[in-house]
Amino acid sequence: MKIISDIQELRDHLRGQNRASFVPTMGNLHEGHLSLMRLARQHGDPVVASIFVNRLQFGPNEDFDSYPRTMQADIDQLEKEGVYILFAPTERDLYPQPQEYRVDPPQQLGDILEGEFRPGFFKGVCTVVLKLFSCVQPKVAVFGKKDYQQLMIIRQMAKQFAIPIDIVPGETIRAEDGLALSSRNTYLSTAERAEAPQLQKLLNEVRKQVLDLKERNAEALSAIEKKAVAQLTSRGWQPDYIAIRQQSDLAPSSDANLQAGEPLVILTAAKLGKTRLIDNLEI
User: Active-site residues: which are they?
Assistant: 33
Residue 269 in contact with ligand PAF, rule: CB under 6 A: no
Residue 129 in contact with ligand PAF, rule: CB under 6 A: yes
Closest approach, Cβ 225 to ligand PAF, in A, equals 25
Cα torsion 89, 76, 183, 145: sign: positive
Residues 57-76 that bind ligand PAF (CB under 6 A): 57
Q: Which helix (H) or strand (E) holds 275?
A: strand 275-282
Q: Which is nearer to ligand PAF, 33 or 216 (CB)?
A: 33
Residue 35 in contact with ligand PAF, rule: CB under 6 A: no
In whole angstroms, what is the distance from residue 127 CA to residue 234 CA?
38
Give the N- to C-terminal CA distance of the chain in Å, as an integer: 40
In whole angstroms, what is the distance from residue 97 CA to residue 76 CA?
31
As to burial, measured by CB atoms within 10 angstroms (0-12 exposed, 13-18 middle, 19+ buried), residue 193 is: middle
- Contact with ligand PAF (CB under 6 A): which of 21, 25, 137, 149? 25
Residue 149 in contact with ligand PAF, rule: CB under 6 A: no
- Site size for ligand PAF (CB under 6 A): 10
- Contact with ligand PAF (CB under 6 A): which of 7, 10, 20, 26? 26
- Contact with ligand PAF (CB under 6 A): which of 147, 192, 205, 262? 147
Q: Which is nearer to ligand PAF, 185 or 253 (CB)?
A: 185
Residue 152 in contact with ligand PAF, rule: CB under 6 A: no
In whole angstroms, what is the distance from residue 124 CA to residue 126 CA?
6
Residue 128 in contact with ligand PAF, rule: CB under 6 A: yes
Q: Which is nearer to ligand PAF, 24 or 44 (CB)?
A: 24
Q: CB-side exposure of 246: number of CA atoms within 13 Å? A: 18
Q: Which is nearer to ligand PAF, 25 or 198 (CB)?
A: 25
**Roughly what angle, to the nearest 10 degrees, separates helices 71-80 and 31-43?**
40
21-25 and 166-170: which strand pairing? unpaired
| Tally of CB atoms within 10 A around 22 | 29
- With a CB cutoff of 8 Å and minimum separation 6, the contacts of 75 are 1, 3, 86
Is the CB of residue 279 less than 8 Å from the CB of residue 146? yes
Closest approach, Cβ 27 to ligand PAF, in A, equals 8
Q: Which is nearer to ligand PAF, 153 or 243 (CB)?
A: 153
- Contact with ligand PAF (CB under 6 A): which of 28, 54, 253, 268? 54
In whole angstroms, what is the distance from residue 18 CA to residue 45 CA?
9
Residue 125 in contact with ligand PAF, rule: CB under 6 A: yes
Q: Which is nearer to ligand PAF, 183 or 198 (CB)?
A: 183
Closest approach, Cβ 159 to ligand PAF, in A, equals 17
Binding part of the chain for ligand PAF, among 21-29, 96-104, 221-229, 239-247 by CB under 6 A, reads: 21-29
**Contact residues for ligand PAF, defined by CB under 6 A:** 24-26, 54, 57, 125, 128-129, 147, 150
